[in-house]
Amino acid sequence: MTVEVQHPLNNVDIAAVGALVTAIQEDPAKAHTTWAAHVTWTGGFGSEAKVRAFAPVPSDEPTALGGGDSAPNPVEQLLSALGNCLAVGYAANATVAGIRLDRLTIDLKGDIDLHVFLGLREGHAGFDTITATVRLDSPAPRADVEALHAKVIASSPVGHTLGAAVPVRVDLA
């Protein structure tokens, strides 16, 4: 007796993704989603973010910025969010295209001038630039990998959010 074990390409549940695509095609309203997080200050420069039913994710500042250096700081988490979003995009789009991924790493860095954050002047307090370097190992032809890359960049929710002027409103309750 022979038992065939099926391992989905890139370990992606493409059937679940396909079911979502079908559901949105049948009811476009299902494409509009809302995501949420609840952040609680834990003292000093520490806080933790609670998302859905997951364990809280801590945040802190490095000691040079007055923190306890007990967790990544918010700007590091923002870079991580972009990298994680890109990784999802590569995995999903590669699987749909039938491209096997053997290895994927994304190195991200960003430049921030601390003058505004420290109250030394007014102006832009965020990243001046963000760069990401993607290393992708695959047996697919280079042209297919380049097409995959273009599709991921064109469809990354976090990448598009960071690259566009997105209204942010912070209300004091």
User: Between these two residues, 29 and 2, which has the higher pLDDT value?
Assistant: 29
What is the residue whose two structure tokens read 């918010």?
Answer: 74
The pLDDT of residue 2 is 52
In whole angstroms, what separates CA 16 from the centre of its chain?
20
pTM: 0.91
Question: Is 73-164 CATH 3.60.21.10?
Answer: no
Rounded CA-CA distance 173/164 in Å is: 27
pLDDT average, residue stretch 138-145: 98
**Listed range (6-10, 41-45, 58-62, 168-172) with the worst mean pLDDT:** 6-10
Mean confidence (pLDDT) of the chain: 94
DSSP 8-state assignment for residue 114: T
In whole angstroms, what separates CA 57 from the centre of its chain?
15
The pLDDT of residue 5 is 47
pLDDT average, residue stretch 15-43: 95
Query: Amino acid identity, residue 6?
Result: Q
pLDDT average, residue stretch 25-54: 97
DSSP 8-state assignment for residue 23: H
- Look at residue 1 and tell me whether its pLDDT is greater than 60: no
> Which structure tokens are listed for 32?
């509009």
pLDDT band at 165 (very low <50, low <70, confident <90, very high): confident
Radius of gyration of the chain measured on its C-alpha atoms = 20
Residue spans of the domains in the chain: they are 35-71, 73-164
The pLDDT of residue 8 is 86
**Listed range (10-14, 52-56, 68-72, 105-109) with the worst mean pLDDT:** 10-14
